[in-house]
Amino acid sequence: MYDFYGNPPKTKKDLHDWLTSWLEKVDAAPVEHEGQTYVQEYGFRRGFCMHCVFRNLTTNEYVWWVFPDEQVGKMESFPNARYPSFDDMLKHVIDDYYARWKLTE
């Protein structure tokens, strides 16, 4: 597993390695949101937040959702962004973290 604190990510490759090493396969029951059914496929816990990957069972679109413990089961905070594939979602998340954390290659 990537040592985030011992070796913080500096590049997009580091972010990719960090995220993919922490994501674990999840066996979860489907959830409903706005008439659509999603299943959580991957996730990990850091601090007081869950980082989750959901897949829409109808469209096969992916969703990245980070939420604090107090929002567990509260679907009103479910993200609106949808990605056509896991790789597209992961690229977007990496680009977003890269910009937010002001990293440089």
Q: Give residues with Cβ within 8 angstroms of 79, minimum separation 6.
A: 63, 64, 65
d(CA 92, CA 61): 13
Q: Average model confidence (pLDDT) for the chain?
A: 87
pTM: 0.84
Is pLDDT above 80 for 97? yes
Q: Is residue 5 domain-resident?
A: no
Q: Is residue 7 domain-resident?
A: no
Q: What total number of domains does the chain contain? A: 1
Give me the sign of the Cα torsion angle 11, 12, 17, 23. Answer: positive
Q: Is residue 20 domain-resident?
A: yes
Q: Is residue 6 domain-resident?
A: no
Q: Is residue 17 domain-resident?
A: yes
Is pLDDT above 70 for 1? no
Predicted local confidence at residue 10, as pLDDT = 86
Task: Quick: pLDDT tens for 49-93.
Answer: 888 999 999 999 999 988 887 776 677 778 889 999 999 999 999
Instruction: Write the CATH number for 21.
Output: 2.30.30
Predicted local confidence at residue 41, as pLDDT = 96
d(CA 31, CA 77): 13
Q: Is residue 3 domain-resident?
A: no
Question: Which structural domain range is residue 85 located in?
Answer: 12-71+79-100
Task: Quick: pLDDT tens for 4-40.
Answer: 667 788 889 988 998 898 899 999 999 998 999 999 9
Q: Is residue 88 domain-resident?
A: yes
